[in-house]
Structure 1
Amino acid sequence: MSAAAASANIARHLPRMAAAQPATPALKIPRGRTADGSIDYLTLSFAELEAEAAAWQSVLTQHGVQRGDRVLVMVRQGLPLIASVFALFAQGAVPVVIDPGMGRKTFLRCVERTQPRVLLGIPLARVLSHVFRGSFKSVQVRIAASGSSTARCPAKSAPTKLNVVTSATDELAAILFTSGSTGAPKGVCYEHGMFNGQVELIRQTYDIQPGEIDLPMLPIFALFNPALGMTTVVPEIDPSKPAAVDPAKILQAITQEKITNSFGSPTLWLKIARHCHRERRTLDSMKRVLSAGAPVSPELWGLMGPLLPHGELHSPYGATEALPVSSIAASSVLAETAAQTLTGAGTCVGSIIAGNTVKIIALTDGPIATLADATELPPGEIGEIIITGPTATQAYDALPEATARAKIATGNPHQPNPKPSPKPLGFERSNIGTSGASAPAWHRMGDCGYLDAKGRLWFCGRAAERVETAAGPLFTEQVEPLFNQHPRIRRSALIGHGRRPQQRAAIVIEPRDPDLLRSTKRCRELGRELRELTRDHPYAGRVTLFYFHPGFPVDVRHNAKIHRLTLTDWAETEATGFEVDPKK
C-alpha cells in the first residue's frame, strides 16, 4: 500500500474526486442575479477546486506555514473557506474555525486560548488582530484573503494539484468550536480519523451518492462534500445571523439548482417550510433534509412531509464532539414518537448508527475517571448519554478540566451492556496518540435521555438545564412540549430557582403575539389556560410559576438552542413571575 493510500488526511478526498469526476461541478457561489432573475453562480469543477486549493497551498508554503501550525481562518463562506481549509489540511496545518457572531469578547477569548501562529483572514480580520494585540499575541504570520465569497486565490503560477501530506488517523486535523449553548464555547480537537469517520457515517446512514447537490446552511458542513462527491451550492445566508435568512432565496436555490440534500437547523427549516406552504410550493428534487442543533418540533415534522414528495426529513443527533450518534426519519416520528413527545416522553432521536456505542449512566455533575466508576442504567431509566465511536473526539483544546469532565476512560461498568455493541464499519480509529489511553475514551454528551425497549435513544434535555426539585427531577423535553401545544405559544423554557435538589420549577413563555406582553391581565389569562392544559400531567403539572419573555436568547450557530441558564438569570434578577393556583 502506498503512503498516499495509507494516509488518513481528509484532504486526500479532493484530488480523488477531481480524478474521478473532474468536470463535475464541485462548488457554486452566488454572485448576483441574471437578467431573467435567476441566481448567477461562480461555478468550479472538482478539478478547478483542487487547483484553487493547490494555489492556496502554494501561498501557505511561501509564508512558511508548517505542518502542525495552528491557522486561525477568518474568511468568507464560499470559495475562500473551502479552498483554504483543504489547502491547510493538505499542508498538515491545523485550521482553527470559530463561529462568527458569538460576540467580540467571547471570540477574543477563544483566539487567545487557541494560540494560533498564523492568521488567514479578510482585511477586517487582519485589522482586528492589530487592534486586539493581546488576544492575537501568538500570531506571527498574517496571510491576506479577499473579503469576497467568490474571490480566487491571489497566487500566480501555482500548481494545479494538491500535495497532500501523509497523516495518521490520530493526528490533529482541526479545532472547531462548540456553540456554547450551556457555557463558554470550547475548542474541540478533531483528528483526521474522526473526519473520515464522519464522512463514512453520513454516507452510509443517508445513502448519499456522488453527483448529488447539497445546500449546506451551516458552512462547516460544506467541508464534507468533496469527500462525498457532492456539489456544494453556497446558500445566500449570513452565518452570523442565520435567523435573518430570506426563505424565498433558499427556495429559489433549491428549485433552480435541483438540490437533493440540505442541512439546516429546525429554526431555519421551519421558516422555509412555512414560506413554501404559503406559496404552495414543493421541493421536488430533494431526497433528504437533515435538521439538527435542537429538537425538531412536531410542527416542523408535519409541515415537511407534503413539501418532500420524493424525499424525507431526517434529524441526526449528536454534538460538535460526536456527530452523528443516531438518526430518526419523519416516517418514524409521525407514525409513533411524536404522540409520545406530546405526552412527556421526551424527544426520540432514533436508532444508534452502526459504529457507535451508546450507554446511559447515572447522573452526576462531577468528573468520572473511568467507565468502572459509572453506573450504567437499564432501558427506560433517564440518565446521562455517553458515546464512543469513530467520530467521538477525545479532548478540548487547552481546557484540561473541561476534558476531564467530558471524557471517561474505558473500563468495566458496574453493569453489562444491555445489548452487544455493533461492529465498526471498517473505519475504526487507531489508538489515541496524545492521551496515552489504550482505546478511545467515552464522551459525555451532557444530555439526559434513555434507551427504550427497541434500542432507540430518547433525548430529555441538557443535564445542566435539568431542574432538581424536592419531588424529583424535571427535564426540559418532558415539560416544554406540553406547554408548546398551546396555539398562542411560540416556545417555552423550563427553568429552576434555587439550588439543587431543592429548586423551584418555573416556565418562561415566549408568546407568538409580542403585544400580549403589554397586558398583565392577558398574560395571567394565558397562564391560567396553560395551567389548565398541563394540570394533570405528572411533570408539567408540577409547574405553577409563570414568566413571559419577548424573545428567547438562542445560540448563533443554529438559532435554535435556547439559553435557559440566561433566562434563569433574567427571571431571578429582572422579571416578575406570577403563580397560578394549582388548586383552581
Structure 2
Amino acid sequence: MRLADYLDKGASVDPAAPCLTTDGATASYAEVQALSRRVAAALAAVGVRPGDTVAILSANDPVAFTCVFGTSRAGAVWCPVNPRNEAAENRELLELFGCTVLVHQASFAPLVEQVRGDLPLLRTVVCLDGEPADGTLGWEEFLVGGDGSEVDRAAVDDVAMIVGTGGTTGRPKGVVLTGTNLETMSATTLMSYPFEGRPVYLALAPLTHAAGVLCFPVMARAGEVVVMRSPDVGRFLALVEERRVTHTFLPPTLVYMVLDHPALPTTDTSSLQCFWYGAAPMSTTRLAEALGSIGPVMAQLFGQTEAPMMISALPPAEHFEADGSVATRRLASAGRPTPLVIVEVMGEDGEVLPRGATGEIVVRGSLVMRGYHRDPEATAAASAHGWHHTGDIGYLDDEGYLFIVDRAKDMVITGGFNVYSTEVEQALMQHEAVADCAVVGLPDEKWGERVTAVVQLRPGAVVEPAELQAFARARIGPVKTPKQVEVWPDLPRSKVGKVLKTEIKQTLTG
C-alpha cells in the first residue's frame, strides 16, 4: 500500500467521517482526500516526478500531514524533517536525501534560510502559512499552480519514506522504508492491540516521530486523528475526555507528566482502549502506577526507525497475570515478538543463542527497512548473517518475552529521542579546556535516560560544568546537551587506551 491508500481506505468506508481534528476544527475524509489530490497536482506542476524526495518541516499540523498523502499520491518519497534538529544536521540530511521540494511552516523560515543556499538540488520551497520569504511559494500560490490537473501515480520501487537517523559515528543516515514495511507495521498494529469500533487517536507526540506512522492503521479503520500542535499535558487530558479518545502514544517522559498532573484523577479515561508507551525505557514503578491511575490500557511497543514500532508488543492484557494482579516481572520486558517478524538473540560469531542467553537482538521479516540511503556499507553491516541487527542487547525468556538490558552503540534514549554519544563528545571536545570526554546514559525517572558527560580537562584548565552545558547547547541543541556534567582528573581506560564507559557508569550509579 502507498501512504495515500490509508487515507483512501478510510474515505471509502465513510467519506463524511472525521479524519483530522485540530483546535476544535475537523476535516472529513473527503476533505482531506481532496486537499491531498491538490497537493499531488501542485507537486507535479513544480516538476516533482515519481521517486523524487519531498521534505516536510513542520510541528504537528493537519495541513502539513495532508502533504504526506499528497506526496505519496504524486509518487514521491516523504522525508520528514525534525524541527528539533540543529540547522547543520538538517542541512546534511536534506543533502543526503537529495530533496527537490521543501514544505515548511513559517515559524521555521529562519532555519530554511540557513540551509537552502547549500542545497543545489532544492528547486522549490513552499511556506504552509504566513508570509513567504523571497524565492518561496505561498501556500495558495503553490496549490493554484496544480489546479485543473489530476495526479495519482504509483510509487517507484515501493519506497514510501526516508527517515533521518544517527549512526555509530553520530553522522546521520537515511533509513529507507517501503510501503511494504509500513503495511506490515500497520497490519501488525491492528492484530496486536485492541481496536474495537472506530478508533479516535490522539497525537501529542511529533508526527515526524512515532506518532505519525501510528496514524496509518487508524486511518485504515476510518478513525479520527486528533492532532495536538504542542505538548500540553493538561490539554491532552481534556481531549481524552472531550473526544472520547481510544488510542494514544506517549514516550515515558510524557507519561510521567500525565501521572503527575492534578487533573488526572478527575479525567474520564474510560474510552481508552490502548495507551501506547515506548521509544525509551520506562520505570516499572511508574508503569504500575499508570495501570492504576490511567487504567488497564497501557500497551508497550518496541521498534526502531529501521524496523518501525512493531518488533515486539506488550498489549494491555499482558500487563496482568491470569488472576488480575499486575505482572510485575513482565513489566520490565518489551513484550513478545509480533506475528509478522522473527526475533532472535545472536552472539558475536553470528550464532543464534538459546533462550535466556544474552546477545544482540536481531530481526527478520517484511517490517525491516530496505537499507540505508546511499550507504551500502552501513546497510551490509546492519544486515550481517541475514538478520537486521538492532544494536540492542537483550534476551528472550522461556515464555518468549523479550528483555532489553543494554544498547550496543552507546546511544542514549532520552525523552523518546535518540542521542548518539559520539556527537555529544565531539561537541564538547571543541571547547578549549577539554582534553577528553565520555558520554553515557544514566537511568532517570523523568527522561528514561539522561545524557551524562564525564570530562577530563587540559593541564591547568578550569571550567564549570554549566559553561560546558551552555557550550554544547549552542552546538547541538537542548535535547542532546548533557543534563549532568562531571569533571574528573582522568578517565578510566583499557590497556590500549580505550575509555571504559562501563566503569564510568558503575562509578556514577554507585
TM range (shorter): 0.7 to 0.9
> Tell me, what secondary structure is at the counterpart of 2:261?
helix
Is it true that 1:293 corresponds to 2:276 in the alignment? no
**RMSD value over aligned CA atoms?**
4.3
Is it true that 1:360 corresponds to 2:345 in the alignment? yes
May I ask how many residue pairs the two structures share in their alignment?
437
Q: 2:350 aligns with which of 355, 364, 374?
A: 374
Q: 2:37 aligns with which of 21, 32, 54?
A: 54
Instruction: Write the letter of the residue equivalent to 1:183.
Output: G
> Tell me, what secondary structure is at the counterpart of 1:183?
coil
CA offset at residue 401 of structure 1? Answer: 3.0
**Judging changes above 3 Å, is the alpha-carbon distance between structure 1 residues 401 and 181 closer, same or farther for their aligned structure 2 residues?**
closer
CA–CA distance in structure 2, aligned partners of residues 44 and 328 of structure 1: 33
Is it true that 1:109 corresponds to 2:92 in the alignment? yes
Is it true that 1:258 corresponds to 2:244 in the alignment? yes
CA–CA distance in structure 2, aligned partners of residues 578 and 52 of structure 1: 52
CA–CA distance in structure 1, aligned partners of residues 329 and 5 of structure 2: 45
**Judging changes above 3 Å, is the alpha-carbon distance between structure 1 residues 278 and 129 closer, same or farther for their aligned structure 2 residues?**
closer
**Judging changes above 3 Å, is the alpha-carbon distance between structure 1 residues 549 and 460 closer, same or farther for their aligned structure 2 residues?**
farther
2:202 aligned residue: 215
Q: Deviations over 1:147-173 (max 9, x none)?
A: 59xx986635977997532347x5211
CA offset at residue 117 of structure 1? Answer: 1.6
When the two structures are superposed, what TM-score results if normalisation uses the length of structure 1? 0.65
CA–CA distance in structure 1, aligned partners of residues 92 and 313 of structure 2: 34
Q: 1:304 aligns with which of 290, 308, 311?
A: 290
CA offset at residue 329 of structure 1? Answer: 3.6
Deviates most, 195-204 or 119-128: 119-128
How do 1:261-410 and structure 2 match up within 5 A? 261-275=247-261, 279-309=265-295, 311-323=296-308, 324-329=310-315, 331-333=317-319, 335=321, 339-340=328-329, 347-363=332-348, 374-408=350-384, 410=386
**Judging changes above 3 Å, is the alpha-carbon distance between structure 1 residues 236 and 180 closer, same or farther for their aligned structure 2 residues?**
farther
Identity of aligned residues (%): 22
Q: Deviations over 1:455-494 (max 9, x none)?
A: 111111201239xxxxxxxxx99xxxxxxxxxxxxxxxx9
**Judging changes above 3 Å, is the alpha-carbon distance between structure 1 residues 82 and 578 closer, same or farther for their aligned structure 2 residues?**
closer
CA offset at residue 68 of structure 1? Answer: 0.8
CA offset at residue 120 of structure 1? Answer: 2.0
Deviates most, 156-165 or 377-386: 156-165
CA–CA distance in structure 2, aligned partners of residues 509 and 302 of structure 1: 18
Instruction: Write the letter of the residue equivalent to 2:184.
Output: G
CA–CA distance in structure 1, aligned partners of residues 183 and 441 of structure 2: 42
Instruction: Write the letter of the residue equivalent to 1:231.
Output: E
2:104 aligned residue: 121
Is it true that 1:190 corresponds to 2:177 in the alignment? yes
CA–CA distance in structure 1, aligned partners of residues 390 and 190 of structure 2: 23
CA–CA distance in structure 2, aligned partners of residues 160 and 44 of structure 1: 22
1:164 aligned residue: 152
1:27 aligned residue: 20
Q: Deviations over 1:121-145 (max 9, x none)?
A: 2345566444434532221222332
2:449 aligned residue: none
Q: 1:100 aligns with which of 66, 83, 91?
A: 83
CA–CA distance in structure 2, aligned partners of residues 201 and 507 of structure 1: 31
CA–CA distance in structure 1, aligned partners of residues 9 and 441 of structure 2: 53
Which runs of no fewer than 5 residues in structure 2 stay unpaired? 132-137, 414-420, 422-437, 447-464, 474-478, 493-503
CA–CA distance in structure 1, aligned partners of residues 382 and 236 of structure 2: 37
Greater Cα radius of gyration, structure 1 or 2: 1
Q: Deviations over 1:22-71 (max 9, x none)?
A: 111001011xxxxxxxxxx1111111110111121121122121111111
Q: 1:450 aligns with which of 386, 391, 395?
A: 395
How do 1:238-257 and structure 2 match up within 5 A? 245-257=231-243
CA contact (8 A) 1:359 1:386 kept: yes
CA offset at residue 9 of structure 1? Answer: 2.0
Q: 1:233 aligns with which of 198, 201, 226?
A: 226
When the two structures are superposed, what TM-score results if normalisation uses the length of structure 2? 0.74
> Tell me, what secondary structure is at the counterpart of 1:249?
helix
Is it true that 1:461 corresponds to 2:461 in the alignment? no
Q: Deviations over 1:149-203 (max 9, x none)?
A: xx986635977997532347x5211111237798344321011111111111111
2:501 aligned residue: none
Q: Deviations over 1:497-524 (max 9, x none)?
A: xxxxxxx999958699xxxxxxxxxxxx
CA–CA distance in structure 2, aligned partners of residues 160 and 206 of structure 1: 43
CA offset at residue 270 of structure 1? Answer: 1.2
> Tell me, what secondary structure is at the counterpart of 2:286?
helix
> Tell me, what secondary structure is at the counterpart of 2:153?
coil
